[in-house]
Amino acid sequence: MNRARVLLYDSLMSYAVISTWKMSLNGALIAGGVLKNGGTTLEAIKAGINDVENNPDYLSVGYGGLPNREGEVELDAAIMDGSSGLFGGLMGVKGIANPIDVAVALSKKRLNCLLCGAGAEKYARLKGFEFKNMLTEKAKKQWEEQEVKDNELLSLASYNGHDTVCFAARQENSLAAGVSTSGIFLKTPGRVGDSPIVGGGLFSDSDAGAAAATGDGEDILRGCLSHEIVRQMEGGRTAREACETALFNHLKKMDRKNLKVGPISLIALGADGSFGAATSLDEFAFIYTDSDNPPEVWIAGAKTGMEKAAAERLNQYARD
């Protein structure tokens, strides 16, 4: 380990949280509070994601999420504990009020921890998790309007109605990452993106760092980007350098293959105490907080790097 890394370890903050999109601001506050009170990284991530899952105003996660082509809300969620190496996840589930809660329960198991569809719902029922109709009037209306205009997913502008809430958390030397999403609006029923796939939508190793991704899931999976970020941090890069290296190398590679790539945004926390993000968008908002700093909105840009968002810039930022 080189000297710079040792120095960063010396100044390690006791806890930190990073999360995607402005919609996770309150969740990051809640997650930070859990860690401050001595909670685990998994407890903090669950609490932070629950806040977004339960808010019907956010049309891309949990209750109020946008439906698939047939008008049904199909949800994905996963969590990975970087200390034990255990993970749990759900794919394409219907009616589960808080998919991240079930993912956390599954992450206590070494095998049978990533469940899809009917099997996942059966497990959640058996374990007594809450079920409800996840399709709100607002989301249904958007589906009906979109369906009337056009039934083709590919004709939708990228990021039109999809954003995953991703959290990474550190408590002392322990790291974890978690995600929850309704996936891409008007997706083919049964479609799964990167979010619940370990290595794609999330990855965590407490020796190196934790990372998670949002954007066009198929494009994220093609580069196993969350794993790649953690691998870059293991090689000595800070969280920000790792996100940028993973993203821009991937984009170059896809370009060489002449493959069109949709928007991708990445966040990470390093075991060295660093945090960072990278994006292919002009603007991608994320939240960062730690033991010394309250949650604040940061904005990353493909050409501008990342900076804390000044009030004026925040006012102009239109997305969730």
Residues composing the chain:
320
In whole angstroms, what is the distance from residue 317 CA to residue 85 CA? Answer: 37
Q: Is 193 in the site for ligand ASP (CB under 6 A)?
A: yes
Q: Is 164 a catalytic residue?
A: yes
User: What tokens were used for 265?
Assistant: 């945004």
**Choosing from 20, 41, 136, 164, which is the catalytic residue?**
164
Shortest distance, position 14 Cβ to ligand ASP, whole Å: 30
161 is a site residue for ligand ASP (CB under 6 A): no
Binding residue for ligand ASP, selected from 181, 232, 238, 280, defined by CB under 6 A: 181
Question: Is residue 163 a contact residue for ligand ASP (CB under 6 A)?
Answer: yes
Q: Which of 74, 81, 101, 194 binds ligand ASP (CB under 6 A)?
A: 194
**Least distance in Å: CB of 202 to ligand ASP?**
10
Q: Is 320 in the site for ligand ASP (CB under 6 A)?
A: no
Q: Which is nearer to ligand ASP, 215 or 273 (CB)?
A: 215
Residue 230: phi, psi to the nearest 5? -65, -35
Give 121 or 194: the residue with its C-beta nearer to ligand ASP. 194
CB of 193 to ligand ASP, least distance (A): 3
CA distance 258 to 197: 25
Distances from the Cα of 263 to the Cα of 36, 70, 152, 282, angstroms: 34, 25, 18, 10
CB-neighbour burial class of residue 149 (10 A; exposed 0-12, middle 13-18, buried 19+): exposed
Q: Per CB under 6 A, does 19 bind ligand ASP? A: no
Cβ neighbours of residue 313 under 8 Å, at least 6 residues apart? 299
Measured between alpha carbons, how far is 289 from 188 in angstroms, rounded to an integer?
Answer: 37
Amino acid at 39: G
Cβ distance to ligand ASP smaller for residue 94 or 162: 162
Q: Is 89 in the site for ligand ASP (CB under 6 A)?
A: no
For ligand ASP, the binding residues (CB under 6 A) are 162-164, 181, 183-184, 193-195, 214-217
Catalytic residue numbers?
164
